[in-house]
Amino acid sequence: MRVLAVADEVDEALRADPRRAGDVDIVVACGDLPFDYLRALMDALDVPLVFVPGNHDPSVRGFRTSRAGLTLRAGLPATPPWPPGAVNADGRVVDVGGLRIAGLGGCPRYSAGPNQYTQGEQRRRAGRLARRATWRRRRDGRGVDLLLTHAPPRGVGDADDPPHRGFDCLARLIGRLRTPLLLHGHVHPYGDRPGDLPLGPTTVRNVVGRHVFDVPTAEDRLGEPAVQVRR
């Protein structure tokens, strides 16, 4: 699967012509991007969009889909802030475009803004996400191909200032999910392209800006000794 991953910084060249991304199968977004920008990419490329929210995005908490297909919030019909047809993966495990994707948005709490969590709050959210992924794996034998977060794991690609510290719980979460790849944003490289970082068997990748690469699906990985992710 060829993936276009975006986060935090609008790529003006890509906004002007989304076809610069080339042939991609899916767009994944790791937060802090205008939803109209994401909608333009999704519509122009005619591919699915999966996202998690960042700390500068509006709150996406409390929305759910009824059995009748209506979007509800607090039990009442509501229009979510994200683009129609996009998939909010925050705290969820979703199957989209041949990939199984888990998501955990937000950053460490440093203000009263939305999509911010204490280390304890995010740890509890991560535990619920891991249980959902485990249930799905037991049901059909498929693991998670890709973990989307906004903030990175603590000590792996994060910074020392409180707003840009990573989450402690992510190291344990990837161990439980057994995912080969974690994508995050939040930490701006300011023109430099940060290298991939290892966290156990998982590759941690900062996708601020735009990045295009291949991700093997679970079917592709059957019988392979290791996962190869190519930029």
Q: What are phi and psi of 81, to 5 degrees?
A: -75, -15
pLDDT of residue 222: 56
Vertex 55: Cα angle to 178 and 104 (nearest 5): 20
Close Cβ partners of 137 (under 8 Å, ≥ 6 residues apart)? 143, 144
| Assigned token pair, 96 | 């989209």
**Structure confidence at residue 219 (pLDDT):** 65
User: Which H or E run includes 172?
Assistant: helix 169-177
Query: What structural domains and CATH numbers belong to the chain?
Result: 2-221 (3.60.21.10)
Percent of the chain scored above 90 by pLDDT? 78
Q: How far apart are CA 170 and CA 117, in angstroms?
A: 13
135-151 pLDDT, tens digit per residue, is 999 999 999 999 999 99
Q: How far apart are CA 108 and CA 118, in angstroms?
A: 6
Give per-residue pLDDT as tens, 62-103. 888 777 777 888 888 888 899 999 999 999 999 998 999 999
pLDDT digits (tens, 9 = 90+) for 154-192: 999 999 999 899 999 999 999 999 999 999 999 998 877
Please report the pLDDT score of residue 229 as a whole number: 42
Please, how many CA atoms are within 13 Å of residue 156, restricted to the half-sphere of its CB? 22
Q: What is the pTM of this model?
A: 0.91
Give the Cα separation of 99 and 1 in Å (integer): 8
